[in-house]
Chain A
Amino acid sequence: MGEMEQLRKEAESLKDEITAARKAVQDLTLQDHVAGTAVVGRVQLKIRKTLRGHLAKIYALHWGTDSKLCVSASQDGKLIVWDSCTTNKVHAIPLKSSWVMTCSYAPSGNMVACGGLDNMCSIYNLKGKDGNVKVMHELAAHTGYLSCCRFLNDNEIITSSGDCTCVLWDIETGSQKTVFAGHLGDCMSLAVAPDFNTFISGACDYTAKLWDIRDGQCRQTFGGHESDINAIGFFPNGNAVITGSDDASCKLYDLRSDQELITYQDSSIMCGVTSIAPSFSGRLILAGYDDFNCNIWDSLKAERVGVLSGHDNRVSCIGVTPDGMACCTGSWDSFLKIWN
């Protein structure tokens, strides 16, 4: 068809235009700029706590805003809210579906959410009157698994799904406020910007997309990875995005210059990245891998400056406390470990 061919040509031409525009602002590389900076010294973190209690693989963890409580999800069919200092279980929430893949702590601390192969996002009220934790809402509309969820506030949550879309939900009414469509592969992970105006998603189409939360528009798309993006996060100032992929590398994409600035990889690392988190200043990037370890990268110099070895199976999730005081790793070995 004439129009199809025309559209195809226009798409190719626009892609070339984007490539050229990105190159045009490349007056210097990040490597050039940090050439005079020293690599940070070796980072050696110790295990301070081990959180024991799950009976099967842990798939997700998320810190509360108080930097003390965290929630974890395991395919033993439980969400556990931990007091990370005392290692006590504050709540042990049995799930309807044990095939959970993600969990999230609301910024207020009032709720947690989870979801997985049931294609739903279940919201639990932690502050119920009688002290029991109950399902408050079940957000159903995705036609694929729930890979990630993040609360904006007590009434809004964003989910990413194997159906290739992300959705902004009104929790109270259970309705989809906005559907973010555009990825050509399963959405695996999402992260909300520090200013809550945008969020980023990583998908099995090897790209990361930046979305405007209010108008639903995809503003930017970042390529370069050679396989699924499993993990994504914001650099603390909100101006850059870090991704982790099955291609064994992590990348940093700068939002304002709209391009990849640096790749974190090593020929000795041949397994996928499952999870990623920046340290408080952004100078360190902690990434969990399939080979049971977590590598710590100097984000500016792209050199490996530390390793966290302590798990007996894949590190599936990682999170740094909002105050930067510690990092928590969760693993298929059923344990969570707190390091600093």
Chain B
Amino acid sequence: MSTTNNIAQARKLVEQLRIEAGYERIKVSKAAADLMSYCEQHARSDPLLVGVPTSENPFKDKKPCIIL
């Protein structure tokens, strides 16, 4: 009984590995360039990266934020 289970499991693993082996990979240089470019493009809109002016900070006590 357990032998049949083991074989079934092993078959599933091989099947899964076949799917993963068939994956079409792009070059790391392209992947890295795209990551870097995304970061650059969005840097200015990243408040934690560039800082938040007090007047625009919803978590600073002065300005109440309204939930619509």
Residues in A lying within 8 Å of B, measured CB to CB: 1, 3-4, 7-8, 10-11, 14-15, 17-18, 21-22, 24-30, 32-34, 37, 40, 43, 45, 48-49, 66, 68-69, 83-86, 182, 217-221, 235-237, 239-240, 254, 256-259, 261, 279-284, 286, 299-300, 320, 323-327, 338, 340
Contacts and interface: CB of A to CB of B under 8 A. Distances in A.
Contacts, number: 183
Contacts of B65: 68, 85-86
A83 B67 contact: yes
Given A25-B26, A257-B31, A340-B59, A33 B36 contact: yes
Contacts of B21: 14, 17-18, 21
Given A68-B67, A221-B20, A340 B25 contact: no
Contacts of A283: 39, 42-43, 46, 49
B47 A340 contact: yes
B43 A48 contact: no
B56 to A, nearest CB: 9
Contacts of B67: 66, 68-69, 83
Instruction: List the 6 shortest-distance A-B pairs measured between CB atoms, nearest first.
Output: A281-B42, A48-B59, A14-B17, A281-B46, A33-B32, A7-B10
A4 B10 contact: yes
A299 B47 CA distance: 16
Most buried by A among B19, B59, B67: B59
Most buried by A among B25, B26, B48: B48
A8 B57 contact: no
A1 B7 contact: yes
B15 to A, nearest CB: 10
Given A254-B28, A258-B25, A281-B46, A11 B13 contact: yes
Contacts of A220: 20, 23
Given A239-B31, A261-B28, A283-B39, A14 B14 contact: yes
Interface string B1-30: 001001100110110111111010111111
B47 A219 contact: no
A323 B34 CA distance: 22
Contacts of A326: 47-48, 58-59
Contacts of A26: 28
